[in-house]
Amino acid sequence: MFVVRESAVISAAPGTPTLDVSDLENVVIQAVQVNDAGTVVIDVESSIDGTVFIAEGAQIIETGFAAGANKAVERSISDSNGMSKPRKVVRLNISALAGGGTYKLLAAGFQTRVRG
């Protein structure tokens, strides 16, 4: 079954919206610019243990988003051959946010088992 998860909206830095994706395969994450205002620096990160995080692609800055509300930058959690990488947690590490912009994290993938 295809599943989409959504974090709370972040309006101040530092902020780290985080989602559990341990039960998902072929994970795609989106950094969503809910409200287009000011400047931002975002690192998209993932972890296999929930403690140690690695970057997934280059930093996202304000110019990485198309102008307007509800615009997103997408990252696939896969290797250079397109193979899915198993991850426990994904997050946005928002290290600089000024001017009133708001952001959230979306994660989607195919559920491999029921959590619980």
At 113, is the secondary structure helix, strand, or coil? coil
Q: What is the pTM of this model?
A: 0.89
CATH at 30: 2.60.120.260
Domain housing 92: 2-111
Higher per-residue confidence, 7 vs 80: 7
Statement: residue 113 has pLDDT above 80: no
Going by pLDDT thresholds of 50, 70 and 90, the confidence category of residue 14 is confident
Statement: residue 36 has pLDDT above 80: yes
CA 62 from centroid of its chain's CA atoms: 15
Distance CA 109, CA 51 (A): 21
- Flag whether 60 is in a domain: yes
In angstroms, the Cα distances linking 4 to 7, 21, 26 are 10, 10, 12
Distance CA 28, CA 5 (A): 11
pLDDT tens, residue by residue, 53-106 = 999 989 999 889 998 889 999 999 988 888 888 999 999 999 888 888 899 999
Percent helix, strand and coil across the chain, each to the nearest 5: 5, 55, 45
Domain count, the chain: 1
Give the pLDDT confidence score for residue 116 in this predicted structure: 60
- Flag whether 116 is in a domain: no
Give the pLDDT confidence score for residue 73 in this predicted structure: 94
